[in-house]
Amino acid sequence: MKYIFANWKSNKNVETANEWLDGFEKLTTKNEIILCPPFNILGGIYKRAEKLGFVLGVQDLSPYSAGSYTGEISSVNLEEMDVKYAILGHSERRIHLGEDDILVAKKVDQAVDAKITPVVCVDEGYIESQANAIDDDSLSKCIVAYEPLSAIGTGKEMDVEKVTQVVDRIKKAFGNVKVIYGGSVDETNVISYLRACDGVLVGGASLEVKSFINIIN
Ligand code: PGA
C-alpha cells in the first residue's frame, strides 16, 4: 500500500473543488489517496470526498488544543470530519510563516493526541534537528515527507538514487517510519519515486483531475 497525498495548498474554493470531484468515480485503488484541501473547502466537501473513497488530510494544525487561539484550527475543530493525516512543517510554512522545528514538534504532539497521523516535511538541512525536536513517543507515529526545496513547484526532478539515500538518512534520524517523497511529482515520474519510498506528496499535479487520475493509476 502506497500513500498518495494531494496537497492543494491555497488553491480552489468549494465550487471548483466540487468540479474537481465531479471528475472522479468511486476510487478502487488499493493505495491510500489522501485529499488535503484548504480548511474551509474540507468543511464543504468532506462527506462527498469520503464517499468517493478519498481519505482526508489537512495542511497544518494548531500547536494548541481548543481554546483562545484566534485563527488557529485545532484537532477539536476537525472532529466530525474524520481527518486522518496532517501535513506539518511544510517548507512553505517554514519560509513564509517562520515555522521552526520546535513549533512543528508541538503540532506533531497535537496530531498524535488526536490520533491524526503527522506527515512531517523535511529538507536535508533539518532532518536530524527536526527528529531531535520531536518526543520519542510521537516520533514513531510520524510519516516523514522528504521535500527537497529545489524540487518543490519547480518542475526540477530529484534524482531517484538521491531520494533513496535521503530515505535512509531519514530512517536513521526518525527510526523505522514510513517515508514519502514530494517535489514536482507528476504522472511521468511517479512510478520511479514510488519504487524508492512509501508514497508521494503531490502539489501542482494534484490540481487538475486528469493528471491526478493518471498519478493514481
Ligand atoms: P509540487 O509541490 O508537487 O507542486 O512540487 C509539492 C509540495 O510542495 O508538497
Tell me the mean pLDDT per 10 residues along the chain, length 217: 98 98 97 98 97 98 98 97 98 98 98 98 98 97 97 93 98 98 97 98 98 97
**Residue 214 β-bridge partners:** none
Give the per-residue pLDDT at 172.
98
Predicted local distance difference test score (pLDDT) of residue 157: 85
Ligand 1 centroid to Cα of residue 67, in Å, is: 32
Predicted pLDDT at 156: 92
pTM: 0.98
Instruction: Label residues 8-24 b or e (16+ Cβ within 10 Å = b).
Output: bbeebeeeebeebbeeb
The radius of gyration of the chain from alpha carbons, rounded to an integer in Å, stands at 16
Ligand 1, atom 1: nearest CA belongs to which residue? Answer: 203
Closest ligand 1 atom to Cα of 154: 5
β-pairing, 32-36 vs 199-202, is unpaired
DSSP 83: E
pLDDT of residue 66: 97
pLDDT score of 24: 98
Atom of ligand 1 nearest to the CA of 145: 9
Q: Of the residues 35, 90, 152, which should be mutated to test ligand 1's pocket, given the most ligand atoms within 8 Å of the CB?
A: 152
Annotated catalytic residues are 90, 147
